[in-house]
Amino acid sequence: MSKTDLLFYLSAFLFCSGLLIAVTKKNAIVVLMGIELMLNAANLNLVLFNFQKKGMDGQLFALFIIIVAVCEAAVGIAIILKTYHYYHTSVPDQISDLKEKN
Amino acid sequence: MIAAPEYSFSFWLTLSVLVIPLVASLSCFSIKQKIGWLAPLISSVLLLIASILAIVLFFQVSNSAEVSYSWVWFTLNQKEIAFSILLDSNTSIMILIVTVISFLVHLFSIGYMAEDQHQVRYFGMLGFFTFAMLGLVMSSNLLITFIFWELVGVSSYRLIAHYQEKESAIKAATKAFLLNKIGDLGFLIGLIIFWSWSGTLEIGDPNLLRIPAFWLTAAGVCIFIGVIGKSAQFPLFNWLPDAMEGPTPVSALIHAATMVAAGVFLLMRISNLFTEDVFMLIAITGSITTVAGAIGALFQFDIKKVLAYSTISQLGLMVMAMGAGAMQGGYFHLLHHAFFKAGLFLGAGAIIHAMHQNHQSNLDAQDIRNLGGLRKKLPVTFISFAICAAALAGIPFTSGFVSKELILTQMTTWAGNEISWRWIVMSSAWVVTLLTPIYTFRLIWFIFFSKPQHQHNVEEAPVIMRIPMIVLATGSLAILSSLSPIHISSAINLLQHSYPEINSKVSLASIVIIGIALAAAFYIFKNQEVKNQKLITPHFYLDVVSNYFMVLTLKLSEATKGGDKLIDSVIHGISYLQITFAHITGWADRYLVDGFVDGIAYSAKGVGAITRSLANGKIQSYLLWAMAGLVIFIVWILY
C-alpha cells in the first residue's frame, strides 16, 4: 500500500465523517462544518489525482475550490445567522417551512 | 311532385271548394240552439256557392292542363309527406258531382228533416261528410287520402246513427263502422308496404312501381281490401243495406256521391299501381258482388233496401268493369250512377215523407207491399223516380244505358274469343243487365201501379224537395252526357278520353235483353197480388257471411287478446331480464369499475405519500438522499 493510497483512504474517511456530521448533527453550524470536511475531502482527492499525471491543474483547481468554499462558508454562516434571527433557533429539525403545510 | 310556384286562380278555386263545406259544417256546429233553424239555410247556401265554384273549376281544369300543388307536411327520415293536390279532368268532374249532389241533398233535407230535433247536428255532419269526400278526391298523396278516407267513414257513421233513439240505427252504424275498419286495415297495410319499399306515397310517383312484383301485388290487394270495405263489395257488403237506418237523404249521399263512391274512385285513381293478379281479383270480386246484389234486390220488400242492394249490384258492376280494364266505363257509370241513385233515394225519401205526413196509420211506410197506386197522387215523384229507375235499368235514352253500353263493350272485348274465366266474369255483367230491369220494374210496379192495399191520402212533397228530384232526373237523361243514346263517341267530351267504338251488336243484344227482362217482369208481376208474394227471407247467405265475419272478428279479437297477453308476458320477461341485468351491471359498475378506479387512485395516493415522505422539510435528510442518489449514479456510471 503506497502513501498515495493511504491518502485516498484518508480522503474517503474525511468525506464519510463529514457526511456523517452533516447528516446527524443538530446544530446548523456543525452541519456546515461537516460540509466543509466533505469539501476538504474532495480537494484532497483532486490534489492526489494531480500526482498521478503531470501538470498543476488539479492543485490549482483545489486552490480555487478552497477560495470558493471560504466564500460559501461565509454565505452559509450569514444564512444561519439570518435563520437564527428569524426562527430563534439554529437547529434545522425545528425549522419545517420546507415541508408541505398540512 | 313539384309544387307549383304561383297560386293561380284555379288553386284558390280548389281551396275554396274544399273549405266551404267545412265552413258550413263548423258554422252549423257552432250555431246556438236558439237559432238552430238557420243551420240548414246557411249550409245549403254555402253548398250552393261551393257547387257553383266547382262548376267553374271543372271548366277551368278541362280547358287547361292538370293542376297540381304540394305542400310538405312533415319530413320523416328525409322522405317527405306532402299535402298534395292533383286535379285532372277525372278529379274535377268528381268534385263537381260531389258538390252538386251534396247541395241537392242539403236542399232536399231542408224539407225532409224539417221536424227533426237534431237538425243542427245533421247538417253539420252533412257538410263535414262533403268536406271529407272532397279532400279524398283532391288529395294525391295516399296518406292524406287515407286520412280523408277515415273522415268519410266517421261522418257516415255519425249520419247512419242519426236517429240515436233507435237501437237498430246504432247497430247499423256500428256494423258499417266495423266492416269498414276491416277494409281500412287492409288499406293501411297496403300503404305501409308502399312506404317501406318505395318511401313515397305520392300517387304520381314512378317509384311506387319500382318495388318487387310480389309486394306490388300484395300492396294492391291490401288497398283493394280497403275498397271492398268502403265500396261494399263481397264479402263486406252487408253494412250497406243496414245503413238504410239513417235518414233517407243521407242514404242518397252515401250511395251516390260520397261514401261508396270513394272506393271506386280510388280504384280509378291508383289503377296504374295494380298488377295483373290484382286486376283479376278485382274483376272476380266485382262479378260476385254484382250478381249477389242483384239477387238480393229481387227479394226485398223495403223500398230503401231494394235500392241498397241495387247499389251493391251497380258498385259490383263498376268494380268488375275496372278490374277488367274498362276504367272509363266504370268511372263513367259511377258518375251516372251518382245522379240516378241520388234521384231514386230522394224519390224514396219523398214517398216516405208523404206517407209520414199522412199520419194515417202505423203502417211501415217503407214496405212496398203497403204502397201502391201512388202514380196519380205523386206525379212529380213518379216521373222523376221512373226516369231514374229507367237509368238504373239501363233503358235507352238514359245515362245508365250509355255507361252500361261502354262497360259491356269493353267487357266483351276484354273477354276475348277463347273461353276462359273471363267469360264467367263477363257473363255476370250480362246476368246483371238482365236482372236489373226486373227488380227495377218490380219496385216501380209495386209503388206506383199495383192496386193499393190501403187508401192513402198523400200529398206531393213540398217544392224544396221536388226541385232536387227534378234536377237529378234531368241529369239521368242520356242527353246530358251523350247526344246519341247508343253511340257514346258523340258524348260531350267530359272526361277527355277517347272512347272505344261501341259494338252495335252489344248494344242490340243488351236492348233485347232489357226488353225481355221488362216483358218477363211485366208478365210476372202484372196479375200478382202483392199479398201473394211469398215472404222469402232475402238475406239467404248474406247473414251467414255477416255472422261468420262477426264471429271471425270476435275470434280474431280473442286471438289478438291472447297474442297481446303473450306479447305482454314476453315484454314482462324481457323487462325482468333487463332489470336483473341492470342490477348486475350496477354491481359490476360499483365494485369492479369503480373499485379499479379507486384502486388506481389509492395506489397513486400511496406512491405519492411515499414520495412525499422524502420531502419532510429536513435539510439533512435531503442531503442524505442527495448523497444516496450520487452514490447510485456513480455506481451506475462505473459498472
- Which residue, among B154, B153, B173, has the nearest Cα to B163 in the 3D structure? B173
Which pLDDT score is estimated for A51? 83
Distance in angstroms (rounded) separating the CA atoms of residues B480 and B495: 13
Cβ–Cβ gap B615/A19 under 8 Å: no
Q: Which chain A positions have a beta carbon within 8 Å of B617's beta carbon? A: 95-100
Q: Per-residue pLDDT tens for B219-244?
A: 888 888 888 888 888 777 778 888 88
**Chain A CA closest to residue B619:** A92
Q: Which residue of A has its CA nearest to B620?
A: A23
Cβ B381 vs Cβ B391: under 8 Å: no
Nearest chain B alpha carbon to A20? B624
pLDDT for the residue numbered B219: 87
Helix axes B276-298, B303-323, angle to 10 degrees: 160
CB–CB of B347/B472 below 8 Å?
no
- Residue B502 · residue B488 · CB < 8 Å: yes
Chain B residues whose CB is inside 8 A of the A100 CB are 612, 615, 617
CB B81 within 8 A of CB B72: yes
Q: Which residues on chain A are in Cβ contact (under 8 Å) with B618?
A: 92-93, 96, 98-99
Contact A23 B615 (CB under 8 A): no
Contacts of A19 in chain B (CB under 8 A): 623, 627
Chain segment B353-387, per-residue pLDDT in tens: 887 776 555 666 677 777 777 777 788 888 888 88
Residues of B in Cβ contact (< 8 Å) with A96: 617-618
Say if the Cβ atoms of A92 and B620 lie within 8 Å. yes
Which letter does DSSP use for residue B367 in this model? B
Q: What is the DSSP letter of B497?
A: -
Which residue blocks in B588-615 are alpha helix, DSSP H?
594-614
**Which amino acid type is present at position B616?**
N
CB nearest A98 (choices: B612, B617, B627): B617
ipTM entry: 0.80
Q: Count residue pairs from A and B with Cβ separation < 8 A.
A: 31
Question: Is B616–A97 a contact, with Cβ atoms under 8 angstroms apart?
Answer: no
Q: Find residue B72's DSSP bridge partners.
A: B82
Q: Which residues contact B222 (CB under 8 A, 6 or more apart)?
A: B186, B187, B189, B190, B193
Record: contact B618-A93, CB cut-off 8 A: yes
Which residue matches cell numbers 298534395?
Answer: B84
Best mutation site among B616, B619, B625, B634 for testing chain A: the one with the most A CBs within 10 Å? B619
Contact yes or no for B308/B244 (Cβ under 8 A): yes
Taking an 8 Å cut-off on Cβ atoms, the answer to whether B624 and A23 are in contact is yes
Nearest CA in chain A to B627: A19
Question: Per-residue DSSP letters for B528-592?
Answer: --GGGS----TTHHHHHHHHHHHHHHHHHHHHHHHHHHHHHHHHHHHHHHHHHHHHHHHHIIIII
End-to-end CA distance of chain B: 88
Distance of alpha carbon B246 from alpha carbon B261, whole angstroms: 18
Distance from B600 to chain A by nearest Cα, in Å? 23
Tell me which chain A residues have a C-beta less than 8 angstroms from the C-beta of B626: none
Amino acid letter, residue B567: I
User: What residue in B sits closest to A15 (Cα-Cα)?
Assistant: B627
Specify whether the CB–CB gap between B243 and B160 falls below 8 A. yes
Closest chain A residue to B621, measured at CA: A23
Q: What is the pLDDT of residues A40-89, one digit of tens each?
A: 999 998 888 888 877 888 889 899 999 999 999 999 999 989 988 888 88
What pTM does this model have? 0.70
Please enumerate in sequence order all residues whose Cβ is within 8 A of that of B255, keeping only pairs 6 or more positions apart, or say none: B240, B307, B308, B311, B341, B342, B345
Residue in B623, B624, B634 to test binding to A, most A beta-carbons within 10 Å: B623
Residue B217 CA to residue B209 CA, distance in Å, equals 10
User: B157 with B230: CB under 8 angstroms?
Assistant: no
Distance from CA of B633 to the nearest CA of A (A): 17
The parts of chain B modelled with pLDDT lower than 50 are: 1-5, 489-496, 531-538, 540
* CB contact (8 A) between residue A99 and residue B627: no
pLDDT of residue B579: 94
**pLDDT for res B590:** 87
Neighbours of A68 (CB within 10 A): 11
With an 8 Å Cβ cutoff, the interface of chain B facing chain A consists of 612, 615-621, 623-624, 627
Residue of chain A whose Cα is closest to the Cα of B612:
A100
Nearest to B335 by CA among B400, B428, B396, B243: B400
Contact B19, B54 (CB under 8 A): no
pLDDT at B532: 44
What is d(CA B80, CA A99) in angstroms, rounded to the nearest whole number? 72
SS (H, E, C) chain A: CCHHHHHHHHHHHHHHHHHHHHHHCCCHHHHHHHHHHHHHHHHHHHHHHHHCCCCCHHHHHHHHHHHHHHHHHHHHHHHHHHHHHHHCCCCHHHCCCCCCCC
For residues B357 and B274, is the Cβ–Cβ distance under 8 A?
no
First-to-last C-alpha distance (Å) of chain A = 55
CB-nearest partner of A97 from B617, B623, B624: B617
In terms of CA atoms, which chain B residue is nearest residue A24?
A: B620
Q: Are B152 and B229 in contact (CB under 8 A)?
A: no
* pLDDT tens-digit series, residues A7-28: 899 999 999 999 899 888 888 8
Separation between Cα atoms, residue B485 and residue B579, nearest integer Å: 77
With an 8 Å Cβ cutoff, are A23 and B620 in contact? yes
